[in-house]
Each structure stands twice: as structure tokens, then as C-alpha cells.
């Protein structure tokens, strides 16, 4: 299980030009796990240097602000 975090806030009374402005913050893969999620073997005889491993992405942080004008 990959822990993620999502926080949303709508500004109600910060300033007149920020009224009803939504702020969205998301953090994916908080624990920064790089687990192997898939293996594409080059051969069926065992581990090989040509095997392709698919790993989870590292932690990422996103902040978005939507202005209404």
C-alpha cells in the first residue's frame, strides 16, 4: 500500500482578489518506497543483466491554485 496525502482548502476571506480561491496540495508516495512492481525477464533461466524492472516513482509534491477572474 502506498500512502498518499491530499489537502484542499478554499480561501473564504483572505483578500478580495483571493475570495473563493481553491488551494490543492497533494503528496504521493509519502514513504518514498521504490518497490519493484513488475519484472520483464530477458530469459527464463534466471536473473540476467537484460531484465527490465519496473519500480514505483519517488515522492512527488504538487500544489495547485485556481484563480477566478
Q: What's the pLDDT score for residue 24?
A: 97
Does 20 score more than 80 pLDDT? yes
- pLDDT exceeds 90 at position 61: yes
Instruction: Output the CA–CA distances (angstroms, integers) from residue 42 to 1, 13, 20, 46, 55, in the order listed.
Output: 28, 59, 54, 9, 17
Q: What is the CA radius of gyration of the chain?
A: 21
Residue 45 clears pLDDT 80, i.e. is over it: no
What value does the mean pLDDT take over residues 16-43? 85
Question: Does the pLDDT at position 40 exceed 90?
Answer: no
Alpha carbon 19 to its chain centroid, in Å, reads 28
Amino acid at each position: 500500500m502506498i500512502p498518499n496525502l491530499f489537502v484542499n482548502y478554499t480561501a473564504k476571506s483572505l483578500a478580495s482578489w483571493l475570495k473563493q480561491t481553491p488551494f490543492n496540495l497533494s503528496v504521493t508516495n509519502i514513504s518514498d518506497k521504490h518497490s519493484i512492481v513488475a519484472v520483464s525477464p530477458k530469459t527464463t533461466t534466471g536473473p540476467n543483466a537484460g531484465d527490465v524492472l519496473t519500480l514505483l516513482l519517488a515522492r512527488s509534491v504538487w500544489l495547485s491554485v485556481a484563480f477566478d477572474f
